Structure 1
Amino acid sequence: MGRRKPSKERKAAATDSATVDLVDWLSKNPDAIDLIQEIGDALAGPVIQELDKSFGGGRPREARRQLTNHFWCDLLIAMAEAIEKLSKSLNRIPEYVTTVIMQSRQNEGRGALLDALVGLAVRTAWEPIKSMIHTAGIEELQRTCRILAVLICPAPEDHKAVQDGALLPLAQEGMLEISKERLEQVFPADWVHRLREGLGGA
């Protein structure tokens, strides 16, 4: 005989129990409380203000009423799922970067490198860069990597990967109106030179 479907009351009781467990967990993890409040404030503040401005007209409460019936929890669950996908993608970045390096070197007729050597260098470099995503943001970090690639490359004019992957996107952003010499002046004296030397001529 099949199991009986749990009643609405039993489902509610189980959910209430889970909520109590969450509150108990939060009481032991105050950093999580701060983050939850930050996201909640963003939803109740800037998000609602933007919606009121664009869709509220003279009656913002009516526009907001359309977003009841589980809209906000749907939004948060979809965000959580997207973050999970992003996290999995971030974990695959070292493998992707290793493949791109190996293909680029082969395409440009540069000396072959040992897969394990490239893989170790990429994984080790990725850890501090990954942590910067949270502080600097993805676009800023991407721009930083591009600028640094141009600065340390001994001959960007001979390096197609640097031309296509750094110079072109930076030019499209309008950044290359600033000359490389002026860009180098932003950094401490001799920093780029010392970095190149430290990287073995890059």
Structure 2
Amino acid sequence: MAATKTHPPSCAKATRPGCECTNCGGTQHGWSNWVAIAREPEPVRTERRMRLIRMLTDWSAKRGEKPKAKVYPKEATVDLLRIDCAGWLAWSAAGAAPDSAPIPRHNARTESGETSAEPPAAGDQPGSRAPADEPDGSASEAEVARVPYEVDPDRPDAVEQVDAFAQAMTKDIWQDVLGELQGSPEEIKAIRLQFAHHCWCDLFIGFVQALEAFGKVVEKVPDKAKEIITEAICGSSKQKKRSKLTEQVVDMVVDKAWSAFKAAAIAHSPLFGMLSGEELLRNLRIIAIFICPAPNNHKEVQEHAIDPLLRDARAYISDETKQWLATRFKQWADGVAKPAVPGSREGEGHSELGPPKHPPHE
């Protein structure tokens, strides 16, 4: 039973948690829209960010009241994080995202527990360095501006990388997956619906775990890594609602996704072979966040995608977003900076700012 060739754009641009699109089975949920946002002009992303912060600030001021908007505080906070990721991808593609730890920017209002509804300053944006204060409290224009570096024209930029991997490992294999499903039309419809229940974000989390386990070098990752990916899906906190996704079905999906991943990384697109293991992990984590129907309610995405990006020294996530995360998620209430993992750049250069004194955890 094949899906129809048309696909509702509302799935790619979904704003509410959950995905019930049996047409794509979640393979197109969210991620293509966030890739499109990464390709928008920076002022458009800034306006999106300001709109989210205005909503979050309003909810904080009316603590305890039920939001009237379609998007709720935790969802809006995750969208703020997604915009940070999209912005970093865009700046990297333009050669403006630094590959080193940012200088923490100190803000008296946020350090005292107040949250600003204004657009973040240059040093609060992911991929930007905070300027050192001048004697009169200002910063020079040269220090504020991101300094572009030369981009290799033969190397796929960060946005293209994320787009290519997400496309290859979800949308491109979907018809093949449907072609091998067995059962009645009703059973296959149920399977397709359960695919949309966090199956694809669990798939990308499985790839993250496999690369971490085998040294992050694609050519050296053995095929038995597929067992790790299968376990990531079958052992997920979301699997209890996916009874139709048996291990046999999951094995079939993992096998196709694994082949697509290795083809995109090595064989059919040899330029992707130039990517480092850290770049591959970053791409997979960002895709997991983009494609997940509700990262605010998906433990594995939080632990294996969001948290590592928060701790990474490359400043994927702004200090302002970290503070909003601290107000809405208990696991980050004490701040997101953690001790650096030996031999890695995690934990370096992040804000020491604490969350507001009384975070409205939900």
- Please say whether Structure 1 and Structure 2 have the same fold, judged by a TM-score greater than 0.5: no
Larger radius of gyration: 1
TM range (shorter): 0.3 to 0.5
Larger % of helix: which? 1
- Using the size of structure 2 for normalisation, the TM-score is 0.24
Q: Which has the higher contact order (CA 8 A, sep 6+)?
A: 2
- Using the size of structure 1 for normalisation, the TM-score is 0.41
